[in-house]
Amino acid sequence: MLGDRRGAAAVEYGLIAALVAVTVLIGVFALGGSVNDLWAAVGKSMLSAFGGE
């Protein structure tokens, strides 16, 4: 019976890891555009500051 408990715990940890991974992916996709726009603005400012275009 002890082996069954270990297997159940492993499955539970696997489900938790999958939930965390899905949550991270949703966050990345939700914020991806905003972060990309931010870095584009930073890059444009850097070019202006250093005499670029």
Prediction pTM value: 0.56
Identify the three-state secondary structure at position 50. coil
Quote the CA–CA distance of 8 and 46 in Å, as a whole number: 53
What confidence tens digit (pLDDT) does each residue in 4-50 have? 566 888 899 999 999 999 999 999 899 888 888 998 999 999 998 88
Band (2; pLDDT cuts 50, 70, 90): low
Alpha carbon 14 to chain centroid, angstroms: 18
Give Cα separations from 8 to 14, 16, 20, 21, 29 (angstroms): 10, 12, 18, 20, 32
pLDDT at 3 over 70: no
Task: Give the type of residue at 53.
Answer: E
Band (1; pLDDT cuts 50, 70, 90): low
